[in-house]
Amino acid sequence: MLLSAAVLIPLWFIPFASFLAGEEEALIFMKGLLLTNSGTMTPATMRFVILIFATLVPILTIFFYKHRKAQLEFCLSNIILSAVLVGMIVVDWYTFSNIDVAKIAEAGLPEVHEFKLNLFICITPLLSMGMNYLAYRRIMYDELLIKSIDRIR
């Protein structure tokens, strides 16, 4: 569970994508969109809140070692939170890589080109999901072992 949380920490600080909009470079963080030339940050609060929960839930799950059913629920909820993070990354990738150039030109906005996705950072939620699944299986195994020992008595 601790590794699951540690894997997500780079998402707090490292951009997972970048693109050029006209002459200005933009970096996409989980916190928001940073325009590097002007230094302005457009916050993405909901995405960052989900990242905070996805990072803190596994750490809190460790301390519920006497309550295995609660640990199982926390593992499942963290798998769902990690899946939501993956979905948000995919939506951003799809949005910025499939922009209709004609509509942007009509609106007078700068053209978006050279979209780059940092694959290492993008697979960290998938790694977190895998680690949570492994933790879920071991916690379930412990729960079944305790039940079988109780039946023997």
Q: Over its length of 153 residues, how does the chain's per-residue pLDDT go in tens digits?
A: 999 999 999 888 988 888 777 777 888 888 888 888 788 888 888 888 999 999 999 999 999 988 999 999 999 999 999 999 999 888 888 877 766 555 555 555 566 667 788 888 889 999 999 999 999 999 999 999 988 888 776
- How far apart CA 69 and CA 105 sit, in angstroms, is 55
- What does the pLDDT read at residue 28? 85
- What does the pLDDT read at residue 67? 92
Verdict on whether the full-model pTM lies above 0.85: no
- How far apart CA 88 and CA 92 sit, in angstroms, is 6
Q: Residue 28 forms beta bridges with which residues?
A: 17, 33
Q: What is the DSSP letter of 1?
A: -
- How far apart CA 149 and CA 153 sit, in angstroms, is 7
- What does the pLDDT read at residue 100? 56
- How far apart CA 95 and CA 90 sit, in angstroms, is 8
- How far apart CA 68 and CA 142 sit, in angstroms, is 8
